[in-house]
Structure 1
Amino acid sequence: MKAFFYTASLLLMLAACGSLRNEVDPSILSAGGEKLVVNGYISPQDTLLTVKVSRSKPALAEPSEGVPYVVENATVSLTDGNRVVVMRYNTDRQFYQAPVALMPIRTGQTYTLTATTPDGKKVTAQATVPPPVPIRTINLDSTITTSGAIRTKAYRVTFVWEDPAGETNFYQYAGYLQWKDNKFSYPIGGQNEVPVPNIYVLIFNRDRATGNLLSDDRQQGSLLTSQSADVAKIIVQKTDPPAAENVSYSYPGARVVAQLLNTDESFYRYTNAVARQRQVGNSPFAEPVPIPTNITNGLGCFAAYNRTEKVLSLK
């Protein structure tokens, strides 16, 4: 009798689980079809205008061998409302480009990007260049850790900027340490050997999801501070010189370069979503992150930013 009840209960549970299954109409997933994907970012600091054009892959599309997803035969143009520049395709680098002299990027100006393909696809997008936001200070601090007889001093940097009041701003920050390495040098034009510059990209403590992105939500008009980043770790004696002098001794000609991008909202939303989706990855248990786009009739992002830099020489 017990076996009968166990069997009946199991059958009821299986029936209940079956009711949880919902069939998805494949036509819904593939309704969007193939679209043009455009990625381009402009700033007054550009030395070359570049735009990447590719094709999306529909969710249920059959794999097509030999069909590249990079679009090489598009017509890509950029206009500021007065002049138009048509970009040429760079086969080696697989993007469309144009000299910045043909279309200078200026603060406050709105630019329109258009891409068309021979099969009739056409996408457009607009971006307005935000103003630059200067970096106020770069701060160099240090901490000491001791392991046995070895004392290690770790140097870290943060930098501060003042957010403009009365407007919404979006930021991305970065930085690097540059110094001359006397171990590796080469002669130039018969002259004496010249030290080769070394560059170490600073890795800032960051939110795993959003990286070095920041908005001034509820902080408009206040001082904003970057996360900290390790600059160098040096074994020191009990008595050592000031922080900057100590770093300069181990890294000749060292200087910290802080970079701040004041971006438009499209840049912030797109970059933020892509960063969060990378954290999700291919996990079947995580909810996919919708990727926003400002490309009319297409996908991707066309955005603008303005970059400022500040240098701290470690002499």
Structure 2
Amino acid sequence: MATLIRPPPVDPSHAPIENLLELTQLADIDPDLFTNTRPLWHPPGARGIYGGAAIAQCLSAAQRTVPKDFTVHSMHCYFVLAGNSEIPLLYHVERVRSGKSFATRTVQARQRGKVIFTTTLSFVKENSGGEKKVEHSTDMPDVPAPVEGQDDLDHGGGSTGPFQSQRIEILNNDSDKPHTKKCRQWIKARGRISPAGGHEAHLSALAYMSDSYFVGTIARVHKLWRYSAVRKDNSKSSIDEEVLKKLLEMDDDSLKRVKFVDKADFQRIQRMRNGEDMSKGAKPEIGMMVSLDHTIYFHNPRIFRADEWMFTEMETPWAGDGRGLVFQKIFSQDGTLIASCVQEGLARLRQDNESKL
């Protein structure tokens, strides 16, 4: 059973991401208790549900417990256990503090009585900073604009996905220093977010999309192989299995036009197509990549639309001991910095005693 209550019909006046993130309030049990209205997405081969869903729905639940003139400015999240897409999620909001200028909420997502995800959020009252303000902001880099119809081959870019994404060539991709590289993409929610959703719907959509390719930055700047087919021991494949299938079906000319396939990826896909033994001269592969925590700072939470193109830039200052850290900046298309994000995740290489492709 993927939901606690039978889902209502999809509302055609809402964007796909609004319907996906819809919550049901369980007011008869507790006014601060919510559950997912619709089934959540489990990426192929992943350990659990897409992490962005838990982030976004916790934010949605918390937003429903604060006054309308309060807006989220930060949320700090921890992924505790993998979420099961076949079991309803319960979101319990704790009203930690409700002050004149700030409000604090903690939200726990639970399945089978266990916490799988927890976050603490801070909200600030509109225009509480006074007439005189300290202000500055980093500039958005000069990058190619998004092009309609050129979305990536993935959950975001698929015709049925809730958001669109277009990756841009990695900055400094030929450098031998991974920390100098920057992974970049355009993202936006598919369709048009309804007026009824208010600014809250745009913030929840942004939170959902902020987890797109985030920790994967570590693999990309090290040019590690991050796709897997079914393994010989029938164990689960990686999150990118479906993408790999599409890449293997492409001819060379089409493959070269895929922006996120670099030279090393291209050569390996050619070898796989030719049926070569991939264990010979193999470069390190990702064995496990899982998000541990996720932080979002919302800078201009009421002046952007998540259904219009937003630019994201990701870089990783450090990786070691099986973990890695990634920073992300998100801009509206006009160059306004709207959010900064930080994520740490597991980044473990497949070991020599593990099965090969």
TM-score (norm 1): 0.25
TM-score (norm 2): 0.22
Q: Which has the larger Rg?
A: 1
Point out the structure with the larger strand share.
1
